[in-house]
């Protein structure tokens, strides 16, 4: 049957498919989020487990368990650091019933602002000396004494419990993916038929997809760790109240492009405002912007190359979409997911234009850097000639 669809019909079907996919992702987020995280971690840990197996001659089962153990230790260290530092920071916030503590903070804020606005008359219009006469203090007091804080604490507790349960589920899925990775890769290739050409194309796609995800996760982790260590050291030398806490926040939040970097810069600025001076806060803001700009435009392109090469518009829209569908976890997963999606689009004939739309490099540049891309787009004779040079199983 040959259906002649109009452009409007095709557009409608495409929009319907997108809405259906988004709805399915949202409704199935309790299943998809742990599965996606486990797949990404498997792609990152596979080379380490393979090195233990081939170089040190350990059994594959032991190598998989060892890789997961290292992951657990690293995450345990980060969680322990947060468990120590976050309560200490919360201890500095006055309790809703502590009216005197709230007034003391208001007085400190007004004192710091007086360094920026020496004219006491002008300052008193916005921040009167008596906190009870200040509308700003009244709004802040209602904010602390209302149900908002209590609800947010309960919400964070529920999120923490849910994450603990999902972490156990992720570890089990990750273990099975590592143990059965090669078998699953073969089964995926078999889905596309017995043709060696088709299997070679699938292999090339899986290899580039895994390589893009692995490159991003490993180098993003190393860059974030270095950035957090560097900023924590600088904050310590400057004399901030919680230097290493803010360095740790930077290390974690910078997994979220743009938005996470912006949020990570606010706490040290506020810390400098209260513990040092407004001018010190301004200096830290300028310094932080310079550091993250250098990191984003110099360090990341050098260490990651063009493996991601997603343009800024795609990154922002991706973050908005995955935040809408999966919430906070979606923000952290947006970049590696889109790296995998782009790799697939660039290998499927007829969809290269969509992959090129997401990229900062042209299709010609991508084809020159990834010769295996010809497997999906060249003529049949070229496919047969190049299929023998491609490994039989992808290194996920």
Structural domain includes residue 23:
no
Predicted confidence (pLDDT) at residue 101 exceeds the cutoff of 70: no
In this prediction, residue 161 carries a pLDDT of: 72
Specify whether 357 is located in the same domain as 209: yes
Rounded to the nearest 5°, which phi and psi values hold at 134? Answer: -95, 125
Structural domain includes residue 176:
no
Specify whether 141 is located in the same domain as 207: no
What are 140's two structure tokens?
């802040």
Q: Where are the alpha helices (DSSP H) in 180-195?
A: 181-191
Specify whether 263 is located in the same domain as 396: yes
Q: Could you identify the residue written with the tokens 């923000």? A: 331
Structural domain includes residue 104:
yes
Specify whether 211 is located in the same domain as 300: yes
- Residue 310 has what DSSP assignment? B
Q: Print the domain residue range for 239.
A: 196-396
205 three-class SS: helix
Higher pLDDT, 358 or 140: 358
In the predicted model, what is the mean pLDDT of residues 219-235? 91
Residue 123 pLDDT grade (very low, low, confident, very high; cuts 50, 70, 90): low
Structural domain includes residue 312:
yes
Specify whether 268 is located in the same domain as 134: no
What would the DSSP string read from start to end of 75-137? HHHHHHHHHHHHHHHHHTSPPTT-HHHHHHHHHHHHHHHHHH---HHHHHHHS-SSGGG-HHH
What are 365's two structure tokens?
């540049």
- Residue 371 has what DSSP assignment? G
Domain total for the chain?
2
What would the DSSP string read from start to end of 319-353? HHHHHHHHSHHHHHHHHHHHHHHHHHHTTSTT-HH
Specify whether 140 is located in the same domain as 213: no
> Is the CB of residue 137 less than 8 Å from the CB of residue 102?
yes
In this prediction, residue 378 carries a pLDDT of: 42
Residue 99 pLDDT grade (very low, low, confident, very high; cuts 50, 70, 90): low
In this prediction, residue 195 carries a pLDDT of: 73
Which of 83, 110, 145 is at the close of a domain? 145
Specify whether 223 is located in the same domain as 315: yes
Higher pLDDT, 333 or 159: 333
Specify whether 377 is located in the same domain as 252: yes
Q: What percent of the chain has pLDDT over 90?
A: 10
Residue 258 CB partners (closer than 8 Å, separation 6+): 312, 315, 316, 319
Residue 90 pLDDT grade (very low, low, confident, very high; cuts 50, 70, 90): low
Predicted confidence (pLDDT) at residue 380 exceeds the cutoff of 50: no
Which of 112, 145, 178 is at the close of a domain? 145
Predicted confidence (pLDDT) at residue 43 exceeds the cutoff of 50: yes
* Cα 271-246-79 angle, rounded to 5 deg: 140
Rounded to the nearest 5°, which phi and psi values hold at 362? Answer: -80, 165
* Dist. CA 3–CA 160, nearest whole Å: 51
As a dihedral over the C-alpha atoms of residue 281, residue 286, residue 291, residue 294, rounded to 10 degrees, the angle is 170
Predicted confidence (pLDDT) at residue 75 exceeds the cutoff of 70: yes
In this prediction, residue 284 carries a pLDDT of: 92
Specify whether 141 is located in the same domain as 202: no
What are 274's two structure tokens?
């209260």
Structural domain includes residue 313:
yes
In this prediction, residue 145 carries a pLDDT of: 62
- By CB atoms closer than 10 A (0-12, 13-18, 19+), residue 131 is buried
Interval 294-303: pLDDT, tens? 887 777 777 6
Specify whether 294 is located in the same domain as 368: yes
Specify whether 209 is located in the same domain as 324: yes
């Amino acid at each position: 049957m040959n259906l002649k669809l109009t452009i409007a019909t095709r557009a409608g079907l495409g929009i319907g498919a997108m809405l259906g996919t988004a709805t399915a992702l949202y409704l199935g987020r309790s299943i998809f989020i742990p599965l996606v995280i486990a797949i990404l971690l498997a792609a990152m840990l596979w080379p380490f487990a393979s090195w233990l197996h081939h170089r040190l001659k350990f059994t594959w089962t032991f190598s998989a368990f060892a890789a997961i153990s290292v992951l657990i230790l690293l995450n345990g260290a980060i969680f322990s650091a947060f468990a120590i530092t976050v309560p200490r920071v919360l201890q500095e916030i006055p309790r809703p019933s502590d009216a005197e503590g709230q007034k003391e903070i208001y007085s400190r804020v007004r004192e710091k602002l007086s360094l920026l606005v020496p004219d006491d008359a002008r300052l008193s219009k916005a921040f009167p000396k008596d906190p009870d006469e200040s509308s700003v203090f009244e709004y802040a007091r209602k904010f602390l004494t209302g149900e908002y804080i209590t609800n947010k604490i309960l919400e964070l507790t529920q999120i923490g419990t849910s994450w603990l349960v999902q972490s156990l589920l992720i570890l089990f899925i990750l273990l099975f993916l590592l143990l059965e990775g090669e078998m699953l890769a073969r089964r995926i290739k078999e889905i596309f038929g017995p043709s060696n050409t088709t299997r070679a194309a699938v292999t090339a796609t899986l290899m580039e997809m895994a390589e893009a995800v692995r490159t991003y996760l490993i180098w993003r982790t190393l860059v974030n760790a270095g950035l957090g260590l560097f900023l924590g050291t600088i904050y310590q030398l400057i004399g901030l109240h919680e230097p290493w806490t803010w360095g740790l926040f930077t290390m974690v939040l910078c997994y979220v492009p743009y938005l996470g970097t912006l949020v990570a810069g606010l706490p040290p600025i506020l810390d400098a405002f209260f513990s040092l001076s407004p001018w010190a806060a301004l200096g830290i803001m300028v310094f932080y912007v310079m550091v993250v700009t250098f990191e984003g435009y110099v360090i990341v392109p050098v260490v990651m190359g063009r493996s991601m090469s997603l343009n800024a518009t795609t990154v922002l829209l991706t973050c908005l979409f995955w935040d809408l569908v999966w919430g906070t976890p979606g923000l952290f997963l947006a970049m590696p997911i889109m790296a995998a999606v782009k790799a697939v689009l660039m290998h499927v004939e007829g969809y290269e234009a969509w992959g090129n739309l997401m990229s900062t490099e042209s299709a010609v540049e991508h084809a020159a850097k990834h010769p295996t891309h010809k497997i999906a787009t060249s003529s049949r004779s070229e496919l047969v000639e190049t299929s023998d040079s491609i490994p039989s199983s992808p290194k996920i």
